[in-house]
Structure 1
């Protein structure tokens, strides 16, 4: 489950649902047990559930959850619905859609726009794709989890490519803000004043405000989206772009900047630490101490 999955589970509990929680990390389950969740010792213990929501970091983890010997495809009952909220490849989502259908189960890709804090406040956006009947069945549940559900058609992969596209736009926005803030700081402009000018004029979007504030405050811990996950998401987006024969030179550059965060040993920081990287490259020593919360 991690931070995002735990937030989703807590919302379902507060809405009166019976929730069975499974995670490889026992502490995640213990925290939810205090809120009323039942604990599952293994994936197969979810076999009686009507709907299972998975929230894992990458293709490898989701493949294991679905296809292992006690995974969801083997253990869920006919008619059960698997909702994947993970940011994974389009090919894996399509494969899961087919395999679940072969097992007389439903599958829905429902990727999320927002961080765990927004999930706790039920303010995330949900991008849903899959069979129309599965979307209709899941919609009441999804509407409890977020502020708006976007239906993207019957191809589960559509939810994943849409999420990847949004993450590319977020990452490129953070990179541009990081560069101009480094320039302004070296020119003697207070970064807080610069942020006020940006977000109080033409750049007042959610990404500019939320991530710009993190960059200005150098607040990169705890990560809402760890730098390593940002690398993964842009890699997936670029792979899809290559498949579709779509050049994405800016996305390629920002992917490399995120890789540079890992090379600097900052893989446990929020991906907005692109701001710290730009500041360091500009010779702003005060911005390099990003290990402290």
Structure 2
């Protein structure tokens, strides 16, 4: 199976590289042409002139873009070239409703669809250790497995279309809570005059140890917020989660608080930083 990849941002470019390494990538496309051409040259694949041309030349189209409107735009552009039997796999984090809408459009053109959002950050994308939460038909996921296994260490079939995005929403809500807890605790540690490298080492080995503390604890306390997962993107994801919760008649107080904090940080120009930039806010809150 030969794939085309659309969306070469922080995650997508690494995912595309891993596909190419396994000989599974034929062509790619990005809204910024220069980005696509440079990566295509690096990987020895073709840069498609548009999504329709890409879709016409591959067995599977893989998408990793930022928002619902981006997914809609890409699908509309690729539909004219979509061949019957082509598999479309969306790795973006978007709403369940958008995936149901796009599934219907792709099915009407004779294709199949999977919503398959990913978790693991840039590190996971780079090192092929992503977790993929897939929604769609079991037979379509089986077809997609060779492609997904080139990028991920864990692939879980969640159920029908949209269930992948629902599972990703669970992940994003948990990430919000973990971010709040870790940044608040480390700000407290700093206020106690503790050596930050030592407190991180000690806590990481106990019950409170977690991925975020391990990967972001030291960098945030050193004032480095190089994005592994951009704060503005998590803000977008949490807005989706809150809308889903409202439809279910639920409240998500931690997610709501995190959304508010992210909005403050974005207004201060920190939206392109890693979500660990929440530490900035926690430090300000402890100042007299």
TM-score (norm 2): 0.93
Change in 2 beyond 3 A, CA 1:73/1:213: farther
Quote the residue 1:14 is aligned against: 21
TM-score (norm 1): 0.91
- Pairwise mapping of residues 195-234 of structure 1 onto structure 2 (< 5 A)? 195-221=200-226, 223-234=227-238
Number of equivalent positions = 279
Deviates more, 1:232-241 or 1:32-41: 32-41
Quote the residue 2:3 is aligned against: none
Q: Does 1:52 align with 2:94?
A: no
Q: Does 1:243 align with 2:230?
A: no
One of 46, 51, 63 as aligned partner of 1:38: 46
Instruction: Say if 1:128 and 1:150, in contact at 8 Å, map to a contact too.
Output: yes
Runs ≥4 residues deviating over 6 A: none
Change in 2 beyond 3 A, CA 1:32/1:282: farther
One of 168, 171, 174 as aligned partner of 1:169: 174
Q: In structure 1, how many angstroms separate the alpha carbons of the residues matched to 2:207 and 2:106? A: 46
Please report how far the alpha carbon of residue 12 of structure 1 lies from its aligned counterpart in structure 2 after TM superposition. 0.9
Change in 2 beyond 3 A, CA 1:216/1:14: same
- Pairwise mapping of residues 118-267 of structure 1 onto structure 2 (< 5 A)? 118-154=124-160, 156-221=161-226, 223-267=227-271
Q: In structure 1, how many angstroms separate the alpha carbons of the residues matched to 2:260 and 2:40? A: 37
Q: Which runs of 5+ in 2 are unaligned?
A: 1-6
Quote the residue 1:64 is aligned against: 73
State the SS of the aligned residue for 2:149: helix
Q: Which runs of 5+ in 1 are unaligned?
A: 285-293
State the SS of the aligned residue for 1:175: helix
Quote the residue 1:291 is aligned against: none
Query: Cα RMSD between the aligned structures?
Result: 1.5
